[in-house]
Structure 1
Amino acid sequence: MPPAHPPEFRKRAIELARTSGKSIGRVAGELGISESCLRHWVALADADEGKSEGLTSAERKELTELRRRNRALQLENEVLRKAAAYLAADNLPNNVPGGRRAGRP
């Protein structure tokens, strides 16, 4: 993955895309970045400035963190669920059919 561009570069690229009168593809080519990258930057800037619908940069960052935390909690719950089932089965009396200790002396 290529290195991230500095914020000043992004800001200037967005400004050029908005004010130069050139197409985004042409501006992107002159700057040596992909057209989709510049379109993405412009769309994010529009959302951050309230010019368009969509998530702001801060909201995107928060959503990413919440999704990461949600995955971790789901994994923890699954581990706890399996541990509880294992311990519950281990505590069954010896004479209960289907218990882990059934049939053992």
Structure 2
Amino acid sequence: MPSAYSEQFKQQCVDTVLVLGKSRAEVAAEYEVSASALGRWVAKAQGTEGTGSGSHMRKADPASQDPTELAKRVRELEIENEFLKSGRPLRQGPLEGDIFKVIEHFDEEGAGKPRYTVTMMARGLGVTRVGYYVWKHRRSRPYAGASPRGKRHRLFRAYHRDFRLA
């Protein structure tokens, strides 16, 4: 079968599940479609699309009128608001590194899962998530001059500097 199915074919499969009461697995085998595709078509027809397993991992759609989506959006905004209230000193014009230090503080707070996600904190503070991780990676690396290679490099530079001055 082609990868793009006509709307009429999809409706026929959905009707076989909903009207005739056959299981999705039976209908999928009968019409030679994947069970997951048939499940999406049935969910769309029933209006339950996006409420199944894994939907709790997605961000709430701001335009949705679904009560569970709205409640999820309210929770997200409450957490973001709570975080922004806790970071009041930041509004007085901190340096970018200071903002990253605040994100790091809240990211490493507690032994379990942090209350605030790095994405949410970065968005609220006006920096990028990638920028935070680059900053954190740079801080975790030891000073380059401390390695044997760094020492050789410093000696090499000093030798050539002295050579040019002579």
What is the TM-score of this pair, normalised by structure 1? Answer: 0.43
What is the TM-score of this pair, normalised by structure 2? Answer: 0.28
